[in-house]
Amino acid sequence: MKTVDKLIIESQLAIKGRATIVIGILLLLVAFWGYMASYQQAARMAVSEEERVIPIYGIEKYMLWIQEDPTAKDTRELFQNLKPVAGPNYILSVFAVVGPMLAAIWGALFFGNEFVWRTAKVRAVHYGWVSSIKTKIVVVLFASLIVGLIGSLVGLLGGHISFYLISRATEIAKWVGDPVIVTSWFQQILVLWLGLSFYGLLGGFIALLLKSPVFGAVIGFTVPYIEAYIGQLLPMWWLPHTAYSELMSGSFAYLAGSIVGIGSNPGFATFSPSLPWAVVGGWLFLICVSMIILSKWQEIA
């Protein structure tokens, strides 16, 4: 069977899987919840400002304050977070935080269900077990990219809708300038792709190793918490989630009102800016190679 045919078959299985549907819906619900939470917070702030501050200082002084004063930073960002230009940044930053945990579950089910459904031996006989695993790895890498592209589109659409709604609710939203997004969509999608790919394959690797999707999902989901414990004993810069968090802090603008936030790790300040990219990329390469080696060992066994 040709490689393209294998990719099509595996992609169809992934798309039709219940885990894909459930996790896809969860991501969309998280995006919707993020916009609703930000909108409600901005609307409450607008009502408070219009009733309490504007009558005292007047509209012109208030406009200057919210546009330029450093003390108005949180208020300004609250409305900037709902602007169309901030939409992709907002949704991709949310997906980058919650996505890896869901990706670990999805990856564990995607690989581990071969043992639950007793199809592993069939694939080994007809297609070759190593070939099947390689194909699944490519599907995970491609699916992670698709999530990033969909997240950008959802953010762009959500930004236009949220700004339209908040602009109808208050004039304050129109006085606030666009937020400063320091990185491109490409870099943000790349960071998300690295996180989803690594943790999706990590869940799959554990599921393959233990021949159990449940253990793969649980262990993959808890890896960041395990890293936090290890970090109390050892330097953390070489750990995947620590490096990934550094990439997120440098690639996304976390504005006031966002449902997620991430801090920078001061341990990276003494190293090259490219170090977190190398760490996460290295872990991703290592997990891919490890899965192929494991699949060869399982096929021999």
| pLDDT tens-digit readout, 137-162 | 999 999 999 999 999 999 999 999 99
CB atoms within 10 A of CB 296: 13
pLDDT > 90? residue 108:
yes
Mean pLDDT across 120-148: 88
CA 51 to CA 138: how far, in whole Å? 56
Q: What is the 3-class SS of the chain, one letter each residue? A: CCHHHHHHHHHHHHHHCHHHHHHHHHHHHHHHHHHHHHHHHHHHHHHHHHHHCHHHHCHHHHHHHHHHCHHHHHHHHHHHCCCHHHHHHHHHHHHHHHHHHHHHHHHHHHHHHHHHCCCHHHHHHHCCHHHHHHHHHHHHHHHHHHHHHHHHHHHHHHHHHHHHHHHHHCCHHHHCCCCCCCCCHHHHHHHHHHHHHHHHHHHHHHHHHHCCHHHHHHHHHHHHHHHHHHCCCCCCCCCHHHHHHHHHHHHCCCCCCCCCCCCCCHHHCCCCCCHHHHHHHHHHHHHHHHHHHHHHHHHHC
Amino acid at 176: V
94 DSSP 8-state letter = H
pLDDT per residue as tens digits for the range 16-50? 888 899 999 999 999 999 888 888 888 887 777 77
What's the half-sphere exposure (Cβ side, CA atoms, 13 Å) at 152? 15
pLDDT > 60? residue 301:
no
Q: What is the pLDDT at residue 106?
A: 96
Mean pLDDT across 154-174: 88
Question: Out of 9-18, 227-236, 263-272, which region has the weakest mean confidence (pLDDT)?
Answer: 263-272
Mean pLDDT across 176-199: 92
Question: Out of 180-189, 203-212, 253-262, 280-289, which region has the weakest mean confidence (pLDDT)?
Answer: 253-262
Give SS3 for 216: helix
Question: Closest Cα partner for 103 from 185, 210, 33, 193?
Answer: 193
Q: What is the pLDDT at residue 235?
A: 67
pLDDT per residue as tens digits for the range 69-103? 787 788 888 888 889 989 999 999 999 999 999 99
Which residues does 99 contact at the CB level (< 8 Å), separation at least 6?
A: 27, 147, 192, 195, 196
117 DSSP 8-state letter = T
